[in-house]
């Protein structure tokens, strides 16, 4: 991988400039810079800077997006903690992805390693961006900062490389969105995970930038976003005397539902013109039932509605249940269709 290091010497230039007036300023500067000579110091200073909210002060928009994302909550998430508490050896089986060390240090694509500090910050900025020298890797930058070196690294614009480290480990099929994506039409069209989960935005990438450049939102909206769920699938009804066919079309870049805790519920009802329910059927689609939709799949379920008479309505709803404990009142309507029997 070819890294481009942009003007790493800026720290020294500042050093020389102030050197004419005395060393006090130089020492002052280096006390809050990550450009330490000692590599371990650079990493320690990054952790301290993160804790002191320095990243937030220069990258307020990105910080706000991240803070509201499931990446920020990957450790404190109650659903996660409840599940992990059932696992006797969670430190080696679970925790390493929910509070990982920086993956540039442990190896992009390799199984992450558990972090022993600041676990509550989950998948933090440092997990995705910090290298062993205290530098921040990313797509090409437009400005310099005294605080950290910027390193251009092609991993950030690769369709899946960064994300696969946690969302595509072969030994953890429960959390794999990558392999189904790679065999889909989305992958052929040069799209990636970021296409749907990190929308493009042109803005100042930090308070110290002068130029608005193209970057991506750090929102990672998934199954907790109604807008995302409404885009996930299409539904069509086809009626032919006595039979109705409900056609589901996945528009999701990977298996649907994407996670193993989630369930899609297809509900089909037959209503009289007065709205009285004559008949109802439900189908659950989940990893547990081994019937998730693949990314390009179009699937039809056919129901016998011989009892339907003129003026009856056939109504189909596709709903999303976050976890098996989510009550029906909190299921999210993804899409619906209805048909009046002629």
Question: Does 310 sit behind a cis peptide bond, omega within 30 degrees of 0 on the bond before it?
Answer: no
Question: Minimum Å distance from CB 37 to ligand HEC?
Answer: 18
Question: Minimum Å distance from CB 295 to ligand HEC?
Answer: 8
Backbone torsions φ then ψ of 202, nearest 5 degrees: -100, 120
Question: What is the CB-side half-sphere exposure of residue 161 using CA atoms within 13 A?
Answer: 11
C-beta closer to ligand HEC: residue 124 or 312: 124
C-beta closer to ligand HEC: residue 41 or 77: 77
134 touches 148 (CB < 8 A): yes
C-beta closer to ligand HEC: residue 201 or 341: 201
C-beta closer to ligand HEC: residue 3 or 280: 3
Q: Three-state SS for 313? A: strand
C-beta closer to ligand HEC: residue 100 or 244: 100
Residue number closest to ligand HEC, CB atom: 259
Q: Three-state SS for 40? A: helix
The helix or strand, by DSSP H or E, that contains position 194, with its residue range, turns out to be helix 193-197
Question: Minimum Å distance from CB 163 to ligand HEC?
Answer: 3
Question: Minimum Å distance from CB 9 to ligand HEC?
Answer: 16
What does R_g of the chain's alpha carbons equal in angstroms?
25
C-beta closer to ligand HEC: residue 206 or 335: 206
C-beta closer to ligand HEC: residue 36 or 271: 36
Question: Minimum Å distance from CB 6 to ligand HEC?
Answer: 7
Q: What does each C-alpha distance from 322 to 162, 173, 263, 264, 330 come to in angstroms?
A: 26, 19, 7, 9, 9
Question: Minimum Å distance from CB 95 to ligand HEC?
Answer: 8
> Strand 277-286 vs strand 213-216: parallel, antiparallel, or unpaired?
unpaired
Question: Minimum Å distance from CB 317 to ligand HEC?
Answer: 16
Alpha helices in 20-159 (DSSP H): 23-31, 39-51, 54-58, 60-67, 78-84, 90-93, 95-98, 103-106, 125-129
């Amino acid at each position: 991988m070819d890294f481009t290091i942009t003007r790493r010497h800026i720290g020294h230039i500042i050093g020389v400039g102030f050197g004419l007036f005395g060393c006090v300023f130089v020492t002052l500067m280096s006390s809050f810079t990550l450009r330490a000579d000692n590599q371990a110091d650079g990493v320690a200073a990054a952790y301290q800077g993160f804790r002191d909210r320095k990243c937030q002060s220069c990258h307020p928009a990105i910080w706000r997006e991240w803070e509201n994302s499931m990446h920020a909550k990957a450790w404190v998430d109650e659903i996660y903690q409840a599940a992990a508490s059932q696992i006797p050896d969670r430190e080696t089986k679970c925790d390493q992805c929910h509070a990982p060390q920086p993956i540039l240090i442990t190896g992009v694509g390799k199984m992450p390693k558990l972090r022993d500090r600041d676990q509550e910050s989950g998948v933090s900025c440092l997990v995705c961006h910090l290298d062993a020298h205290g530098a921040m890797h990313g797509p090409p930058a437009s400005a310099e900062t005294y605080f950290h070196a910027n390193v251009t690294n092609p991993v950030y614009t690769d369709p899946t490389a960064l994300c696969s480290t946690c969302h595509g480990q072969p030994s953890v099929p429960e959390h794999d969105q990558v392999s189904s994506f790679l065999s889909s039409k989305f992958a052929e069209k040069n799209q990636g995970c970021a296409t749907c989960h990190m929308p493009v935005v042109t803005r100042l990438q930090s308070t110290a930038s002068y130029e608005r450049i193209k970057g991506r939102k750090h929102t990672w909206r998934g199954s907790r976003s109604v807008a995302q769920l409404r885009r996930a699938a299409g539904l069509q009804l086809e009626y032919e005397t006595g039979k109705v066919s409900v056609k589901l079309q996945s528009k999701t870049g990977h298996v649907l539902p994407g996670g193993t805790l989630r369930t899609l519920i297809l509900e089909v009802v037959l209503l009289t013109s007065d709205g009285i329910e004559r008949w109802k059927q439900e189908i659950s689609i989940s990893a547990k039932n081994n019937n998730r939709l693949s990314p390009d799949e179009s699937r039809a379920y056919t129901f016998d509605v011989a009892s339907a008479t003129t003026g009856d309505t056939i109504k189909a709803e596709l709903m999303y249940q976050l976890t098996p404990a989510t009550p029906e009142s909190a299921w999210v309507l993804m899409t619906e269709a209805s048909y009046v029997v002629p």
